[in-house]
Each structure stands twice: as C-alpha cells, then as structure tokens.
Structure 1
Amino acid sequence: MSDSETLEDALEQTVATIDVPTRTASSPFDREDADLIIRTSDGIDFCVHTPVISVASPVLNEILNTRMGIISDPDGRQVLRLPEKSDTIEPLLRLCYPVPRPPLRSLRQIRDVLNAATSYDIQVIGEMLETRLVTYAEQFPLQVYAIACRNVLENAARTAAEYAVRKPFWETYHRDIEYITAGAYWRLLAYYWDIEKKRSRNKKNRRPKLLWKCSEGTSSLPSTKAPSPFPSSASPPFDETSDGDVVLKSSDEVLFRVHKVILSLASPFFRDMFSLPQTGTPPDSAGNGPIIPFTEPSETIDTLLRAVYPDEDPDLKLVHEIEGVVEAAIKYDMPKCISIMRKKLILCASKEPIRVFMIACKNRLADVASAAAHLSLRRPILYSFELGSVVLPFSALEDITAGSLFRLIEYQRECSKVANDATSDLTWTREDFTWRTKMNDAIVGTCQRCTRAPLELGEEQLHVVGWWYIFYQEIKAFVRQRPCTALILESVSLMDKALVEAAKCGECFKDSIHTLRTFRTIVTQHLDKRLAEVKIRIDF
C-alpha cells in the first residue's frame, strides 16, 4: 500500500513468516486433542479444532476442504500459516470459541481483529465488536469511520460520521483511509457540507443523513449496441473482406477479422497468446482462423484495433468511451493505444478533471493524474462543496482509495495557500522590472482626485489609488478559492468594480485598463511559477 508505514508492516509480516522460532499459545489453544495448528507470522502456534473454525469461517472451511496452504511439520502435524500476528489471531479465535471474550484494549487491536474477521468472512465478529468500535468514535472519528466502512459496519460508520463532521476532517491524514474507497470519503464530505449549508441558513428542519452507498452502478457506460443472438460482422477493415488469420469476438457477438502479425507487433500479450497452440477455438465459417472471445464490447475492441492498425487515430471525445479503451489497452499491454488514450484523457480533463483524475489513479497513469489535478484548480473540490454545486463524479469513486482523493484535496489546498501567500505579500514585485518601471508610478502617481488605500510592501508603505486597490483585493479573493491563472485571464468581470471606480477620475480612467492588465500579467506570471513548484503526491 502507498503509505510508508503500511509498506513496513507488510515487509515485517513477510519476513516474520520465514523460519521464525515457534512456541505454543496459551490455553485453550494448547490442547493435544486439536487437529490443526494455525501458525502466526510471529511464530505462535495455536492448536485449534477444525469443527470450530469451519463453522465460524467459510474461508477457512474452504481452505480445510481443499487443503490449500496446509503443510505438515516434522512432527507430522497439520499446519496452516496465516499472515496476521498472534495479538490479532488470539482474540479472533477466542471470539469464535465458547470461552470468555478477550479484552481488546486499543483501537488498533480492534481494527486488526475486524480486518482479519472480514478477510476470513467471520461475520459474527463484526457484530460483536461494532459496539466496542463505537466507543472510540468521539476521540478518533475518521479512523473509526474508515474501519467501519472497510468492514461494512453501517451503524458504527454513521456514529463516527457524526463526530467527524464537527470539524474539517480533511485537514488530517490517517492511514486507515487507504483501505476505503474515495466514494466513502466523498460521502462524508457531502455530509459535512450538507450540515454546514443548513447551519448557515439557520434551518431547523430534519438533519441531513449520511449517504451510505454509491447510488450508481458501473464507472463506465455499457455498450450502446444491443447483443445479437447471432454473431455479426465488424465494420471495415475488420469485416468479411479482410484476409485476417484470426477472429476476435466481442462480448456483444461482433466478429473482428484481424491479422496476427499486427497484433503481435502491437502487444506482447497477443504475441505470447499466438505463440501458444490455439486449442478450443474453432475457426469461423469463412475460414479466417480461430475465434477468440473477449469480454469487452465491440466499441472498445474496434477502438483498440484502429489505434494499432495503420489507420487514423480513433475519434473519441467522451470520457466514458476513453475509460473503457484505456483499461482494455492496459489489460492487453498495447503501448501505442495507451499513449493515444493518455493524450485524449488529458484533453478531456479540461472539462471533467476530477473524473479523469480518478480514471488515471485507477489505471496508474501518473502523468494523466498530475495533469488532471492541475486542471482541477479551476474548480477545487472544497470550493464546489461550499457553493453547493457538486455533482457526484460517477461511481469511479469506488475504484480508487480515499487516500488518492485526500491527496488531490491536499494538493488543491496547498495551491490555494501558495496563491494566497503570493498575492497577500507583494514584496516579490520589487524584483519585477515591469513593476519598477511602470506599475509603481501608475498606482502611486500624483493624482489628487482619486481615493487612496494603504499597501504594505515589506517595510515600505505605499498609498495607492483606490481603483487599483479594488482590483488587487478582487484577485486575492479569487485565487484563494480558485488558484488558476487561466481563469484570471479569462474572467471578463474581474475588473468591473475597479473600472467603475476609475471612471470617477477622468485623468486616471484613460490609462486604468492598461494598468490593470499589466498588473494582471505580472501576478499570473508569478503565480504560474509558484504553482508549478507544488506537486501532487501520486501514490498508487
């Protein structure tokens, strides 16, 4: 997992399972009539009875039936090694056995036991420990919320959410969010802002409720072509006129007649596939070689093929179309197609940056994720929530971790801070040639009619013309919410208040537009440099 602590834990578990001296656990897991030994990663042997664990855990029951992973030690005993440590397995087993319940003295231990219970599908333990988990909700709300979501404990999640939304929880990182979906985190964000909205409007009607599950199905739209009971032919050049030597059949029964040599050159996946004997794949009726079934719809297969055939690049403009193709291109290891889809995703990111960011994270496309994150500064997530104009960006939220979403919000917040710092303190302008030669005289000037406002420039205090100061305040407020220089340049209304004030002075008005534009250029150039220094943490 991405977090360094998580990696250390994983390495520790891996090393611990190799040649660790063992010792037998305490009663009741030291009985000689036990018929199986569960050996933990820290070398503790739990002598257990298979009827007990078979009833408690469908997963362990399947292991016992298939004998997968069970070995015999030098004494002839049956041993099952598990990756968890003894301080997790012992309370887990005690909760399954008819013995007094174990004392769980920390949130970490409750979390580890719950996670193990979920891994081995021991549902009764989740019900037993939910009450204990809730006792930590007030002190550790976000951690409890994450643990509850991971283990599908709805009541505990709702209780923790009540405490979590008492403050801006997104300002603090907790490792547990790496194990829940971005959808769960997004719903907590939505819950926070729903409460804030009602509070700001002094509404006393029913309190908003936390949305527990995503309301949408799949992250990409299904094929628009209805499945046919009989196979149909693809469009040229993959139709019956093709002299291809293999046939690809899509999930909606469309046949693509293609050339092995082209696919072999385009993809190591296909090269390896065609190097094997083609068994169980009868040729089509036209004798164009074996038929190979694929799980993707015809639209996706068609785009994949056109991307690698000597043809024009496929004309895709909708995100859901590109999403399906890029996933298939990665699955079938098609570098050229992946490269084309990367560029198309970045183009789409100007309109749907959050969705493209999630697709990039899901498919581990770091460059696309970085580009989408930068474009998301046009409308940061927290700003959208504050406005109350957030649209849930499809169920792609369920395909990435909450940690990825946290890092996107963290990046946006850091950019807002950098932009705010750069515009609040203009001492950097002393090094700007245009400011020294043009701006200083323009905003200080000698006009006696215009109102004046104080501007601190380090230890120096200037008395600048009021109309310029209005524009300066407008820019400061703007970038604090939306740290995007392109929007400053595009905005046609950002100068309005300043120009209205400048119009009161005939002497200043004639040069005011030029002065404001000059200042805007100085600010955006400086902000571009400062924002380029802020990097999002891409951690897949």
Structure 2
Amino acid sequence: MSTTTNPTVAPSPFNQDSADIVLRTSDHVHYHVHSVILSQASPFFRDMFSLPQPGKTVPSKAPSSDDSEKPVVDISELSATLYTLLMIIYPVPKPLPASLSLIEAALVAAQKYDLELPMQALKNDLRASLPANNLLGRNSLHVWAIACRLRLEDVAQFAATYLAFFGFDELGDPGDAELRGVSAGDYFRLRRCCGDNFGFSRPTFKFVEPLKAASGTKNIPTLDGAAGRATDGAFYTVPYPDVLIRSSNGAEAPAHRCVLAMASPVLRDKLVQVSEVSTVVPAPNPRPLSIFGQSQSATSALPVLQIDEPKDILWPLLDICCYHHLCRPEQHAAPKPPSLIILARMMAAAEKYEITHALTELRARWNTLARSNPLNAYLAAAEAGQHALAKDTARLVLNQPSAICTQYSAELENAPAQAYHRLLVYYTKCHAAIKAELSLVKAQFPDGNLKPMAKEAKEERRWSLHSFLHNVGDSATNGADGIVSATRSLLPEYIKWRGTETSLSSEARQEAKNLQNLSQSLPIRLENAIKKVELKL
C-alpha cells in the first residue's frame, strides 16, 4: 500500500467520491473503487482489506476525492484490463465484448485475484466469439490457444470441436502469436481431435492434461535446482581448489583456475577479472577430496567466479568436459549420460564459452541419443534454442514418419507448439518434394509398363515402373531414407520380373541399362530435393 497525489482518474463509475480505495494500474491510471464491492467479488481482496491499512482513510460518504486520504494499491495490470474486470463486477450496464487479446489479459487477472464472476463472464465471451466473425476457423484456433494457455479445459474442448467440424487443415500456417505459450502436447491433442473427426462431439481426453499413455513416462528434468553447495559427486577427486564457481541459481562448487582457463578462453578472461583474496585458507587435510565435497571452511576464502548458467547445465558440463580426463578410469565410473534437453543446453553453453574440445564429445553423445529417439531430440534442441542442431535432427525424424504425427511423447509437454507444428510442415513438404521428383521420373518413362519378359518365358507379364514408384512414394512406413534406399532397387526389381540378366533380350538389356542409371541418379536427386526444403525455426 502507498499513497499518491495528482492522479489520472479513470472514467465513471470509477471516479466517485464515495470510493474508499484507489487501484493504481501499471500505466498510472487511478481507479476509485469500493472495497465492499471488491470484497464480495474476490476472496483475494476480502483478505487483503481485512488487514490493517497504512495511511489515512475516510468514511465512505466523505465528500473528498483527494487520493492522499485513501489507501492506494499498486497492481501490475494495465488500465484496459482492470476496466474490463471492474465493469463486470460493478452493477452498471455492460459494454460490448472486448477483443480476444483483452479477454485473455482480463482472464489472467481474474485468475490471479480469484474473481469467479468475471471468470465465468469472460469464458462466455470466448465461446460467443466463435461464430462472431467471418474468419471462423482462425478465431476458433485463437480461442483454443487462449484456453490452453490458461488451462480452461471446457473452453478448449468447445473451440476444438469447431475446428474439427470446419476443417483444421484449411486454416493454413498458424502464426507465432496464436501458438504462443501453447505446448506441443496441447497441439498434438488438437490435431488428434481434428484427425479423429469428432465434429461437435466431445473427445474422450483432456486438452490441458497429458495423455494417459504418458502416465508411465519419466518426468522431464527441469533447470531450477536449488542453490547450495554441490554434494552429489558430480566432479571427480581433484584436490586443492583455488576458485569457487557460482551458478546462476546460486549453487557453488570449488574448482581450479588452470583447468578452467585451459578449457575455455572465455572463462580464462573472466578469471582475470576475479579479485584475489589476500589469504587463501588451505584445506585442513591435504588428502584428495572431491572438489564438490569439501567443507565450508576449506573453500570460504576462495575468490568467486560467477557463471550465468544453472547448475543443472554447468556441473555436468565441467564434469564431462574439464575434469573427467584428469582422473583414472579405474577410480571412477563414467558420468551418467544427461537427458536430451540437458545435453542440448550443455552444447549451447559449450559454444557460448568456446569449450571447443567439449563439443566433439557432446555431439557424439547427442548423435547416439538422437538416432534412437529423433522426435524427442528435435524437441529438446528446439526448446534449448539450438536451431542448427534442431534442423539436423529433423532430418532424422523423417525416417520415423509414424513418430511425427501419431506417436505421443512426454517431451511434447515442455516443447513449444510452434516448433512441433513447423516439424509437421517440414515433413509434409519433404514428402511432397519426394513425390514431385518421382513424378518427373514417370514423365521420363511415359510407358510405365515395360516390355515383356525374356522370349522363352511361357507367360507374358509386365513390370510397371509407375506402380513401383507410386508405391515407394506413398509408403507411410519407409521414411525418407527408406524411400531413397528403395529407389536403388529399381534394377533388381526389374530383373526379378524379367528373369535372369543373361536371359534378357537386347531391347530389355537397354531398358535394364536405363534403369541402372536411374537407380544410381534418383537417390541423389531425392536427397537434393529434401535438402532444398527449409525448416523454419
């Protein structure tokens, strides 16, 4: 609470002398409100007003409108947001429904201040907006996204049924603003709803909760570890530390200047700026100690090197990249492999601090994990802001088409919806590029049914190049590499239908030669077509 003078007063009815509280918005507009009305509408305000208020107060019927005699409550909302909420709470004529962006801002504030009546009224405004304009589908997507961001399950399902009925695929590319703050898991469930053609019936799953199929999956690691000294043995047994590392979330770990300086030129420059302490207190016992396990007395006099990375990233990065090679393998087990998201952020930190020798090892670990689970690897790279890494990994995802569209993963819940959507667009464009290249091949061989088998064959059969290419291009299980590999089997497939290569006629031998050339050039043409498709992140 604070007091203020010379206010910019809000319009009626929030400028009345009978008001006993002033709400000051973040854009410096003063709302003269009645605490009794706010207390009835919100348990939050009721509890706040029940506490003793500093400063002067005046009776509710006092004629003065001087703000210096009324407690002033600073709130973080803009004036337009507060006006929308108060107009619902106050017994006055209601204005027309606000824009979707203003409704969302007001809903956020209503949840914050526990305003039940505005919550219901604003949710009704969201539902009413669905058939309110000509851009029905786009409006439905915006309403669905708002509902997902605010975890409003009933509104999300209501909007999704509109999208499913009117055609989700007709909307085009959703914008960043529409999918802002929406998880890939939410988007996966929306596509599943629309793909299952629920129409106006309600789906059996919830949009704002992970699918039941993920109940047995491991929790996704977070990067908000508590501060304090590292005691989990993340580093190896190296004695006599001479500097104390402090992570961005306040965790500390003793380390060694020479090791850090050799590992990173950026850290070397930062170490130069670290002020030396006059006296360094040596460890009471010179025997080897885990540098993360020493007592407070042994490291309290060390200079501090602040590094702007959380300990979940910093500790394993220094462990793997700086200290692991200093210890004998028989003394200590190899560090536990980090998760994909931690590994992606470790690679970003290694690039930031120019720990170049670490990137080779980290990328080798990444490639091993990414090949076994490319979708999760792509999502982790996108979430970590490693766009180049995400683009490389997206190529691996093309080899598992079923994982892209239909396979649920718990990592979807932490990844942004826009990154997942762009992966789906990338997959669609790559598949279209492959089919376009195969269509060019068909044009080069207008007679798709090639010549008969060898002359001595008892039964004349034809082998269709067009059918072969069509089946290869439309296969949903091959994946990009599978399609490319299948085109290398053109000649063996042709000979299988013709008979042995020695039994081919001279005309068939020429066809076989043409197919051999095609089987050598087509995989290269397909790879080049895929490379031309850009993944936008």
TM-score normalised by length of structure 2: 0.65
Could you tell me how far apart the structure 2 residues matched to 1:23 and 1:515 are? 83
Cα deviation, 1:137-168, whole Å, max 9, x if unaligned, reads 46333222211111121111122222223334
Could you tell me how far apart the structure 2 residues matched to 1:272 and 1:35 are? 55
> Which segment is superposed worse, 353-362 or 308-317?
308-317
Q: Which residue in the other structure is 1:56 paired with?
A: 42
Asked if the contact 2:433–2:530 (Cα under 8 Å) also holds between the matched residues in 1, the reply is yes
Give the gaps of 5 or more residues in structure 1: 1-21, 68-73, 200-205, 223-229, 430-438, 451-464
Q: Which residue in the other structure is 2:355 paired with?
A: 336
Rg (Cα) greater in structure? 2
- Whether 1:377 aligns to 2:398 is yes
Coordinate RMSD, CA, aligned: 5.3
Decide whether aligned partners of structure 1 residues 161 and 347 sit closer, same or farther in structure 2, where only a CA change above 3 A counts.
same
- Whether 1:304 aligns to 2:318 is yes
Q: Which residue in the other structure is 1:117 paired with?
A: 110
Candidates 6, 26, 31, aligned match of 1:46: 31
Q: Which residue in the other structure is 2:383 paired with?
A: 362
- Whether 1:351 aligns to 2:365 is no
Cα deviation, 1:288-343, whole Å, max 9, x if unaligned, reads 5249999857x983553231348399999998534324436757964427735356
Alpha-carbon offset, residue 185 of structure 1: 0.7
Cα deviation, 1:339-376, whole Å, max 9, x if unaligned, reads 35356434533332221111112211111111122222
> Which segment is superposed worse, 349-358 or 23-32?
23-32
Could you tell me how far apart the structure 2 residues matched to 1:99 and 1:282 are? 74
Letter in 2 for 1:301: W
- Secondary structure, counterpart of 1:527 in structure 2: helix
* Aligned length in residues: 454
Could you tell me how far apart the structure 1 residues matched to 2:344 and 2:21 are? 50
- Whether 1:424 aligns to 2:439 is yes
- Secondary structure, counterpart of 2:393 in structure 1: helix
Q: Which residue in the other structure is 2:418 paired with?
A: 403
Decide whether aligned partners of structure 1 residues 310 and 117 sit closer, same or farther in structure 2, where only a CA change above 3 A counts.
same
Asked if the contact 1:117–1:126 (Cα under 8 Å) also holds between the matched residues in 2, the reply is yes
Letter in 1 for 2:189: R
Candidates 105, 120, 125, aligned match of 1:127: 120
Cα deviation, 1:101-157, whole Å, max 9, x if unaligned, reads 543155454334324434666455333322332234463332222111111211111
Could you tell me how far apart the structure 2 residues matched to 1:363 and 1:329 are? 9
Candidates 272, 294, 299, aligned match of 1:289: 299
Q: Which residue in the other structure is 2:409 paired with?
A: 393
Q: Show the 5 A alignment for 1:115-514.
A: 115-118=108-111, 122=115, 124-137=117-130, 139=136, 140-166=139-165, 167-169=167-169, 171-174=172-175, 175-193=177-195, 195=196, 208-210=204-206, 212-214=208-210, 215=215, 218-220=219-221, 238-239=236-237, 242-245=239-242, 258-263=255-260, 266=264, 268=267, 271=271, 275=275, 284-285=294-295, 288-290=298-300, 301-302=315-316, 304-309=318-323, 311=325, 320-327=338-345, 334-336=353-355, 339-340=359-360, 341-342=362-363, 344-380=365-401, 384-385=405-406, 390=407, 392-394=408-410, 396-426=411-441, 447=451, 466-478=463-475, 484-485=480-481, 487-489=483-485, 498-503=494-499, 506-507=504-505
Could you tell me how far apart the structure 2 residues matched to 1:286 and 1:75 are? 53
- Secondary structure, counterpart of 1:400 in structure 2: coil
Asked if the contact 1:233–1:256 (Cα under 8 Å) also holds between the matched residues in 2, the reply is no
Asked if the contact 2:152–2:208 (Cα under 8 Å) also holds between the matched residues in 1, the reply is no
Identity of aligned residues (%): 18
TM-score normalised by length of structure 1: 0.65
Q: Show the 5 A alignment for 1:520-535.
A: 520-535=519-534
Could you tell me how far apart the structure 2 residues matched to 1:184 and 1:308 are? 40
Asked if the contact 2:472–2:486 (Cα under 8 Å) also holds between the matched residues in 1, the reply is no
Asked if the contact 2:26–2:77 (Cα under 8 Å) also holds between the matched residues in 1, the reply is yes
Asked if the contact 1:318–1:348 (Cα under 8 Å) also holds between the matched residues in 2, the reply is no
Letter in 2 for 1:372: T
Could you tell me how far apart the structure 2 residues matched to 1:335 and 1:346 are? 20
Which has the larger share of strand? 1
Decide whether aligned partners of structure 1 residues 349 and 23 sit closer, same or farther in structure 2, where only a CA change above 3 A counts.
same
Could you tell me how far apart the structure 1 residues matched to 2:49 and 2:258 are? 44
Could you tell me how far apart the structure 2 residues matched to 1:425 and 1:404 are? 32
Alpha-carbon offset, residue 405 of structure 1: 1.4
Alpha-carbon offset, residue 25 of structure 1: 3.1
Decide whether aligned partners of structure 1 residues 272 and 304 sit closer, same or farther in structure 2, where only a CA change above 3 A counts.
same
Could you tell me how far apart the structure 1 residues matched to 2:397 and 2:511 are? 32
Letter in 2 for 1:147: I
Decide whether aligned partners of structure 1 residues 469 and 321 sit closer, same or farther in structure 2, where only a CA change above 3 A counts.
same
Asked if the contact 2:24–2:73 (Cα under 8 Å) also holds between the matched residues in 1, the reply is yes
Alpha-carbon offset, residue 537 of structure 1: 1.4
Could you tell me how far apart the structure 2 residues matched to 1:427 and 1:318 are? 52
Alpha-carbon offset, residue 403 of structure 1: 1.6
- Secondary structure, counterpart of 2:299 in structure 1: coil
Alpha-carbon offset, residue 263 of structure 1: 3.2
Alpha-carbon offset, residue 492 of structure 1: 8.2
Decide whether aligned partners of structure 1 residues 339 and 94 sit closer, same or farther in structure 2, where only a CA change above 3 A counts.
farther
Decide whether aligned partners of structure 1 residues 529 and 165 sit closer, same or farther in structure 2, where only a CA change above 3 A counts.
same
Could you tell me how far apart the structure 1 residues matched to 2:513 and 2:128 are? 63
Letter in 2 for 1:144: V
Q: Which residue in the other structure is 1:457 paired with?
A: none
Cα deviation, 1:461-513, whole Å, max 9, x if unaligned, reads xxxx74433333233324x8867256422688787765543349843776776
- Secondary structure, counterpart of 1:152 in structure 2: coil
Could you tell me how far apart the structure 2 residues matched to 1:406 and 1:131 are? 29
Decide whether aligned partners of structure 1 residues 146 and 256 sit closer, same or farther in structure 2, where only a CA change above 3 A counts.
closer
- Whether 1:36 aligns to 2:22 is yes
Asked if the contact 2:402–2:477 (Cα under 8 Å) also holds between the matched residues in 1, the reply is no
